[in-house]
Structure 1
Amino acid sequence: WEQRKLGEIAESFEYGLNAPAKEFDGEHKYIRITDIDDNSHKFIQNKITSPDINFKSADKYKLQKGDILFARTGASVGKSYYYNESDGLVYYAGFLIRARIRPQYSHEFIFQNTLTDTYDKFIKITSQRSGQPGVNAEEYSNFKIMTPSTEEQKKIGSFFKQLDNTIALHQRKLDA
C-alpha cells in the first residue's frame, strides 16, 4: 500500500454552478448539498430540480461516471457523494467541489475513504475557521489515502459498496 494525496489521485477539482434551482425540466438534474442523503450519501431524487442556466455553456458542470462531490462549507462540510450513471444527467451546485478521479484508481474505493473516521477527523481539523466551517479544493487535495494495487482497490471498494447496500436495505425494512 502507498500513501497518496487526493490531489494526486484526482485529475482535477472544480467548483460547481452558482445558479438558482428551478422546477425539474424532465432531463437536467441539479444536485445541491441538501440533495445528498446524510446517511447513504446517495442523491435524494424525490424533489428533483434543474439548474436555471443556459445548458450550452455548462458542459463542465455535468457529472461523469466516478466523479466524487464534496460539500465545501457550513454544517454539511465534508459530506460526499459518488456519481453513478443511473442518477441521470446531473449538474452540481456551487457549494460543492467535484473531484474527477484518475482512471487508474477505483472510484468506489476512493469514495469509501470519505466514509471513514480518518476522513471525519481530517474534515474536523481542516474545516476550523473563525467563522463558518469550510474546506476548499486545495485543502481537499491534501487528504491522504492509503492505496493498494488497482485490482485490490476494486475488490475492497466493491465489498464496501455491497455492505452499504445491505445496510440501506435493512434500514428501509426497519423504517417500513
Structure 2
Amino acid sequence: MDKQKKPAIRFPGFTDDWEQRELGEICTSFEYGLNAAATSYDGENKYLRITDIDDSSHRFNYDDLTSPDTDISVADNYKLSEGDILFARTGASVGKTYLYRHYDGLVYYAGFLIRAKVKPDFDAEFIFQNTLSDKYDEFIRITSQRSGQPGVNAQEYAEYPILVPSLNEQVKIGAYLAQIDNLITLHQRKLLKLKKSKSWIKERIIERIGGKEDAI
C-alpha cells in the first residue's frame, strides 16, 4: 500500500484510493453476549461460545451443540443475523473471531464474546477477513496486555484501524478470500478423513499381527 493508500495488486476496474477507518465507524454497535449457562441442544436454538469457534477455520464447530439455559423469548437481543461478527474478549482465545452465516441457523452468542454489527454500506466478509491478518494479530497482542488475564474490550475493538476500498471492491475481495478459506477447509477435512482411515487400517493390521482369532 503506497502513500495514496492504493494496493499494488487489485481486481481490474478499481482505481480509487482506500480509506482508513476505525472498526467503530464501520459497525453500528458493540454488544456483550448472553450471560447464561449452556444446556442440552433442543434441536433448534444453538448457543455459540468461544470454544465452539473452530481455531483454524473460524467456523461454527457443530461437534458439541448446546442451547442457552434461559428463557429464549426474552433473548432476542442475543440472536445473530447477517453481518454480525463476534470477537472473543478475554482469556487465551482473546481476538478470535467468527462471522455469522445464514446456514448456521438460529444462533445465540454467549458471554465473553462481543458482537459487532457491520453497517450495510460495508461488506461483512471483507471486514471479517481483516481479522484473519497478521496486522490484526499484532493489534490483539499489544492491546490485550493486562496485569492479569489478557483481554480486549468493546471500546478497544472499536479503535482497530482498517483500510477499506469501495463497497464493490470489498465484496470482490471478501468473496475471493472466502473461496480460498472454503478450499482450505475442504482439504483439511479430506486430510482428517484420510488420517482416520489410515489409523483404522493400522489398527486392523496390528490386530492380525498380534495373533487375534481372525489372524491370517
The answer, yes or no, to whether TM exceeds 0.5 is yes
Q: Deviations over 1:20-64 (max 9, x none)?
A: 000001111000000000000000012100001111211100000
2:189 counterpart of 1:172:
yes
Cα distance in 1 between the residues matched to 2:63 and 2:98:
17
Q: Which residue of 31, 37, 40 corresponds with 1:23? A: 40
Shift of 1:173: 1.6
Cα distance in 2 between the residues matched to 1:5 and 1:164:
25
SS of the counterpart of 1:112? helix
Cα distance in 2 between the residues matched to 1:22 and 1:174:
32
Q: Match for residue 100 of structure 2?
A: 83
Higher relative contact order, structure no. (Cα contacts within 8 Å, ≥ 6 residues apart):
1
Question: What amino acid does structure 2 have at the position aligned with 1:100?
Answer: K
Gaps of 5+ in 2: 1-17, 194-216
Q: Match for residue 6 of structure 1?
A: 23
Cα distance in 2 between the residues matched to 1:45 and 1:144:
32
Gaps of 5+ in 1: none
Q: Deviations over 1:116-173 (max 9, x none)?
A: 0000000000000000000000000000000000000000000000000011111112
Cα distance in 2 between the residues matched to 1:57 and 1:171:
39
Provide TM-score, normalisation by structure 2.
0.81
Q: Match for residue 162 of structure 1?
A: 179
After TM superposition, the structure 1 = structure 2 runs for residues 11-160 of structure 1, keeping only pairs within 5 Å, are 11-160=28-177
Shift of 1:106: 0.4
Provide TM-score, normalisation by structure 1.
0.99
Question: What amino acid does structure 2 have at the position aligned with 1:75?
Answer: A
Shift of 1:114: 0.3
Cα distance in 1 between the residues matched to 2:149 and 2:63:
29
SS of the counterpart of 2:155? helix
Shift of 1:92: 0.3
| Deviant stretches of 4+, over 6 Å | none
| Residues matched between the structures, number | 176
SS of the counterpart of 2:185? helix
Cα distance in 1 between the residues matched to 2:26 and 2:143:
19
Q: Deviations over 1:51-84 (max 9, x none)?
A: 0111121110000012000000000000000000
Cα distance in 1 between the residues matched to 2:73 and 2:65:
21
